Amino acid sequence: MSNYHVTKNPGGGWKVLKAGSERASSIENIQRKAEQEAKRLAGNTRGGEVRIHRPDGTIRDSDTVKPANDPCPPKDLKY
């Protein structure tokens, strides 16, 4: 199980970082594509958390990728 972060890349675009890593796993032009890549990578490592950051570095959203188990699942009121 691995956790990933989608953050703004200083050189442009968005980077996908595995938690605890300094080197990007992927760099994408669009945040949505970086988010999809992070979820794909997390799914390949038995699931995990994907945290999507705003350009200022704060966390905008967090998703659990299956088959990982969220110990405290939020009550999603949007859907």
- For residue 66, the Cα-to-chain-centroid distance in whole angstroms is 13
- Residue 78: pLDDT above 70? no
Q: What is the mean pLDDT of residues 37-64?
A: 92
pLDDT of residue 79: 43
Q: How far is residue 63's CA from residue 32's CA, in Å, rounded to a whole number?
A: 13
What does the buried/exposed string (b/e) look like for 8-39 if buried means 16 or more CB atoms within 10 Å of the residue's CB?
bbeeebbbbbbeeeeebbbebeebeebbbbbb
Strands (E), the chain: 4-8, 14-18, 26-28, 48-53, 59-65
Q: What is the mean pLDDT of residues 48-76?
A: 83
Query: Which residue in this structure is represented by tokens 């691995």?
Result: 2
- Residue 77: pLDDT above 70? no
Confirm if 51 and 4 have CB atoms less than 8 A apart: yes
- pTM equals 0.81
